[in-house]
Structure 1
Amino acid sequence: MEIINIIPHKRFEDKVILQMDNYENYTISLEAVYKYNLKKGKEIHQEEFDKIIIDENYRAAKTKGLKYIERGDKTFAQVCEYLEKKEYSSQVIEKVMEFLVDYDFVNDERYAERYIKERRRTEGKNKIKYALKKKGINEDIISEKLININEDEELEAINKLVNKKIHTLIKDGKDEYFIKNKLYSYIISKGFCGDNVLKSIKQSIMENRDLIYEHQRNNQEKDKENIMEVASKRYSLISKSETNNLKLKKKLYDFLLRKGYSYDDVKSAVNEIISNE
């Protein structure tokens, strides 16, 4: 192979374009030009040239890998995936990863430890395990690191989440059964499971039972006021065109039920409105 021409790159000052006699163009660094004494008219064997290109790709891939890690700690699999998307060969990626591991830039055990430490107070083992597996961490490493979370620590984390969430649910004026189910779904979604979840929810419900019933009663009173207002307005509208009391009553029933009110509340409201007319 012969180098026909060496042209400065239009976008990158530290790169040039090699034009070869086989009509192929290659982008390489100025550093490589000086290092391998590349110049116009020079003959170079294909094997030697392939080695230069591999070394160039390795240097570029290593730089990209290091910059990617600078943004935040990454797992072995994440860096590999990033370099694959940059379309580096498996040979180059393997060489880069060997460098990153040897110099401790990439360490899956350290990554798992940090990740667990940051999330152990807000996420359960199941969610943490799923997230780490998704990031490419070996399951043996995950299991080994998760052992460090003891039962008391897990219960404390669950209690904090439950006690914070229950007050939001209580304000909605829902009943105890509804709150219990919502709490369970919420804590499970955080990756916690087992007896500690049920134990924590039961304890929190007991401690807040009076408050739950108070908000529930207030909510029921508001609902009653609301349904009476809605029913009265609808009755006034329907009665303008419907004189048959049975049909009027049915239309009012159907309208309120479609609005989502309970049958008992609808029955009470309709009877009160009709009896006042």
Structure 2
Amino acid sequence: MKITNIEKAKATRYTISVDNEYWYILDLEIIMQNHLKIGMEVDEDFLDDIKMQAERRKARERAYYLLGYRDHSKKELYDKLLESARPEIAFEILSMVEEQGLINDENYARKLARYYLEQKNWGEKRAVYEMYKKGIDKELAEIAIEECDVDVIQQISKIIDKKYYLYMDDFKGKQKVIAALMRLGYSYDDVKAAINNYE
């Protein structure tokens, strides 16, 4: 087998042809590292290795892009890398960014807990559920929630003040408020205590 064409596709990416047929698109970095040139004799093992290098590079760039956009849990990033990379490469890149300190589930859990509790004003149950959906271990999520040390009754009272005070005059209105607050993840007991306290 022989490399018969190396043609620029766009930016730093080049289309590679082997035996006059399209084979793969490679970044210039991979081409230079492996000294690829037209007329070069190649075999299946060599081409498989080149393809693996290209996939690894693509997965690494995707990981950096995703982490530059926002924080991710390990599971969340791994699942996203799996969309375009084989499992062994996804795991390798995940380990690499973890070693570089770019991903840390404990720190991410703390950040999410503060955001959900203090900015979104969600209750503990909903916050833990949403963190779990993002790949944070349930126990780790609960620890992060506890560290926030939010006064739940006071928090519920503030939400009532801000959004629901007009409904507090009659029984039917209060039932709507209770249902709304429970959807935010607050327990029935905490909601009842906050309403009693509010009144």
Give the structure-1-normalised TM-score. 0.66
SS at match of 2:151: helix
Q: Against the structure 1 CA distance between its residues 13 and 120, is the aligned structure 2 distance closer, same or farther, given a 3 Å change threshold?
A: closer
2: distance between equivalents of 1:108 and 1:200? 32
1: distance between equivalents of 2:165 and 2:140? 38
Q: In structure 1, what is the equivalent of residue 18 of structure 2?
A: 20
Return 5+ residue gaps in structure 1 as ranges. 207-277
2: distance between equivalents of 1:194 and 1:184? 8
Equivalent pair of 2:178/2:188 in contact (CA under 8 Å): no
Equivalent pair of 2:4/2:19 in contact (CA under 8 Å): yes
Equivalent pair of 1:183/1:201 in contact (CA under 8 Å): no
Map residues 66-215 of structure 1 onto 2, 5 A cutoff.
66-85=64-83, 87-121=84-118, 122-150=121-149, 153-169=151-167, 176-204=170-198, 206=199
- The offset of 1:161, in angstroms, is 1.1
1: distance between equivalents of 2:39 and 2:152? 71
- The offset of 1:147, in angstroms, is 2.4
Q: How many residues align?
A: 197
2: distance between equivalents of 1:134 and 1:182? 27
In the TM superposition, what whole-angstrom CA distance separates every residue of 1:122-145 from its partner, at most 9, and x where no partner exists?
111100011011111112211222
SS at match of 1:147: helix
Aligned amino acid, residue 108 of structure 1: D
- The offset of 1:181, in angstroms, is 0.4
In the TM superposition, what whole-angstrom CA distance separates every residue of 1:212-257 from its partner, at most 9, and x where no partner exists?
xxxxxxxxxxxxxxxxxxxxxxxxxxxxxxxxxxxxxxxxxxxxxx
Aligned amino acid, residue 88 of structure 2: Q
Pair 1:61-2:55 in alignment: no
- Aligned residues: percent identity? 21
SS at match of 2:166: helix
In the TM superposition, what whole-angstrom CA distance separates every residue of 1:153-206 from its partner, at most 9, and x where no partner exists?
122211111232332325xxxx521122012111101111143211111232x3
- The offset of 1:149, in angstroms, is 4.3
Equivalent pair of 1:112/1:132 in contact (CA under 8 Å): yes
Return 5+ residue gaps in structure 2 as ranges. none
Larger Rg, first or second structure (1 or 2): 1
In the TM superposition, what whole-angstrom CA distance separates every residue of 1:101-123 from its partner, at most 9, and x where no partner exists?
11121111111100111222311
Runs of 4+ deviating beyond 3 Å: none
> What root-mean-square deviation, in Å, do the aligned CA atoms of Structure 1 and Structure 2 show?
1.9
Q: In structure 2, what is the equivalent of residue 240 of structure 1?
A: none
2: distance between equivalents of 1:149 and 1:155? 14
Equivalent pair of 2:59/2:89 in contact (CA under 8 Å): yes
- The offset of 1:98, in angstroms, is 1.1
**Which protein is richer in strand relative to its size?**
2
Aligned amino acid, residue 128 of structure 1: A
- The offset of 1:16, in angstroms, is 1.2
Equivalent pair of 2:73/2:136 in contact (CA under 8 Å): yes
2: distance between equivalents of 1:202 and 1:105? 46
